[in-house]
Structure 1
Amino acid sequence: MKRREFIASAAALLVSPRRSWAQETRRRLGFLAVGDGSGQAINQTERALFDGLQNYGWIDGRNLIIEYRFSQPPDRLPASVADLIALSPDALIVAGPQATAALKSATATIPIVFVAVGDPVGLGLVQSLSRPGGNITGLTTVVPEDFLGKRIEILRELVPGASKIALLVNPGNPMHRLTLAEEYLSRTARKLSMALPIVEATTAEELDVAFASAAAQHVDAIVDVGDVLTWVEAPRVIALAAKYHLPANYFFRHSAKGGGLSVYGPDISDLFRRAAGYVDKILKGAKPADLPVQQPTKFELIINMKTAKALGLTMPPSLLVRADEVIE
């Protein structure tokens, strides 16, 4: 054997086992994402998960394979769940309550980490926040009971004298049915001394009807309670608020970036970044049942001054001082 051939053969023996070992230890993560609404791409907020995973040494395509499926549009959800389960991933990560419930119903064995589920206990996804049990844990958007009241107060500061503020809800979202019970709304309305009519939308087209209904009821402002629908359809919701000249408060940061008047809610990007820590623990052998459900630690108040001016609103200095970000 020639010297050059011998060296090449020896190098192959050294490299091949190492390459094979790397392939065998590559882990698989299934990601059931909301995406950007097209069913083709991860949205910017969800990308914070990748930053978190890299902090723990997990790199997609190197030691981790991330399989993406999307829960939006809604008719894709059953097929997306079936596809991910069929891949037998080492762990699953999922965004939103409807998709989380669908994924949990599909497997009792594959570990699941959820993100942005408001009340996982009330929805029957976990036994308790401290001891979730089963194959699922994650990060909730659960907020204090007076959270809705705080959002309404923000609008009342922006629209002094407001006496009727509509709540935009999705009756298909189990979280809305759970948290906006009639007794709670009546108590909140009495406490704030105002009317809180509900307008509903489960599809993009119904958003138009909901805003027309709010305008017909002569509301002073509107609160987007927060849902996958209004996340994906944020541009439409913002345009409708502008069309009907309605000051609005939104749940998600990107609504303010897209022209929404105000946002108050948990930092969802931070939740995705923190979810990477649970993925890391699970891939290293931890059981979801032993990982307490985590709650949000960062909330954001964002004000869009350009939109405020377009609506003819005078921004209270007290609100500007409290804002985490002011968009000029």
Structure 2
Amino acid sequence: MKRRKALGVIGGAAVWPLAVLAQQPKHVPRIGFLVTGSIESPETRASLKAFGQGLREYGYIDGQNVLVEVRAADLKVEQFPALASELVRLKVDLIVASNSLAARAVQQATTTIPIVVPVMGDPVGDGLVASLARPGGNITGLTFLGPQLVPKRLALLKEALPTISQVAALWHPGAYGERTMNDMMNEAEAAALTLGVHLRLVAVHAPDDLDRAFSTVAAERADALLIFPSPMLFNQRKRIVDLAADNRLPLMAMGKEFVQLGGFMSYGADITDFNRRCVAYVDKILKGAKPADLPVEQPTNFALFINLKTAKTLGVEIPPSLLARADEVIE
């Protein structure tokens, strides 16, 4: 696990160790920020940069009128409970938990400190909130509807590749709560049945499992690859894209970041920007609002990204009707 120790993590702001925090005026609010990856990773830096941008938009400057304490799990999600407890002991005014898995750990560590989650999968299914309209506890934030969009992603993949019959799906057990994971699996399998494809679920418990997972996918002679939503798989997107390319597998993922690295297709909301938008909740809570009364925000815009260069490399001809609906085509 790593504490915040690198300058400029949040939009160029300085890092403030605990000794300095003790010298700050008492009225300056402290925000804990719990992330999955390492502080140095591109994913974490992008999230914190977006969060810093959001802070500035609401008039906050880290190190001046707000202090941000970052804790990073280095992709070891089993560290979340200890890191969450550490933030609670610091008596921060609010904790930003980067995703559903982090939120569950913070939820178990405190029932009083407000929690804002920028990227939730199924907040109700995971037991994070009572309902989207009335969260009812100390948690609120945004949902990217990732699990609910799995059938849509599979349908788009089939539309791009009408002849496929075998689709492998990488999934991360424990990425979300049991109910959410079961719903995601059941909906994906029902969609596959409707589309006339066989869906082969391949579990990835940790980054070290990826080579084995792709060996399984290759042995199954899959025609394409579907990536289920998961913070860990998102953090491993460069490796996943490279392994898919090595195996000549067109992949469908949940974020444009996969396609920008050379992946075939993606469909979903801009989850990196959610870290900027979540500051609206942070601002309201710091001004006295209760998370229980702040409805969870659902995305209204979903973008379809297609990497035409990758398609050509794979020898795939994408239907013109699908290309015309793409929000961005990378050539």
TM over 0.5: yes
Out of 257, 260, 265, the residue aligned to residue 262 of structure 1 is 265
Matched residue type, 1:297: T
- CA 1:256 to 1:25, structure 2 compared with 1: closer, same or farther past 3 Å? same
Bigger mean CA deviation after superposition, 169-178 or 245-254? 169-178
Bigger mean CA deviation after superposition, 305-314 or 29-38? 29-38
* Cα distance between partner residues in 1 of 2:80 and 2:263: 28
Q: Could you say what the CA RMSD is over the residues aligned between the two structures, in angstroms? A: 2.2
Matches for 1:43-82 after TM superposition, within 5 Å: 43-74=45-76, 75-82=78-85
Residues 1:180 and 2:173 are matched in the alignment:
no
1:170, 1:200 within 8 Å by CA — same for their partners in 2? Answer: yes
Residues 1:246 and 2:277 are matched in the alignment:
no
- CA 1:204 to 1:38, structure 2 compared with 1: closer, same or farther past 3 Å? farther
Cα deviation, 1:100-149, whole Å, max 9, x if unaligned, reads 1001100011000012111111111111111111111111122585x322
Q: TM-score, normalised by structure 2?
A: 0.86
* Cα distance between partner residues in 2 of 1:233 and 1:132: 31
SS at 1:47 equivalent: helix
Cα deviation, 1:136-177, whole Å, max 9, x if unaligned, reads 1111122585x3222112222332211121111011223562
1:202, 1:229 within 8 Å by CA — same for their partners in 2? Answer: no
The gaps in structure 2 that reach 5 residues or longer are: 1-23
- CA 1:45 to 1:327, structure 2 compared with 1: closer, same or farther past 3 Å? farther
Percent of aligned positions that are identical: 42
Matched residue type, 2:231: V
Residues 1:303 and 2:306 are matched in the alignment:
yes
- CA 1:267 to 1:29, structure 2 compared with 1: closer, same or farther past 3 Å? same
2:146, 2:229 within 8 Å by CA — same for their partners in 1? Answer: no
1:252, 1:263 within 8 Å by CA — same for their partners in 2? Answer: yes
Bigger mean CA deviation after superposition, 63-72 or 276-285? 63-72
- CA 1:270 to 1:156, structure 2 compared with 1: closer, same or farther past 3 Å? same
1:226, 1:252 within 8 Å by CA — same for their partners in 2? Answer: no
2:122, 2:147 within 8 Å by CA — same for their partners in 1? Answer: no
Aligned residues: 306
Work out which of the two has the higher radius of gyration on C-alpha atoms and give 1 or 2.
1
- CA 1:318 to 1:207, structure 2 compared with 1: closer, same or farther past 3 Å? same
Aligned to 2:33: 31
1:303, 1:325 within 8 Å by CA — same for their partners in 2? Answer: yes
Residues 1:89 and 2:92 are matched in the alignment:
yes
SS at 1:114 equivalent: strand
Instruction: Give how far 1:258 is off.
Output: 1.3
Aligned to 2:44: 42
* Cα distance between partner residues in 1 of 2:260 and 2:310: 11
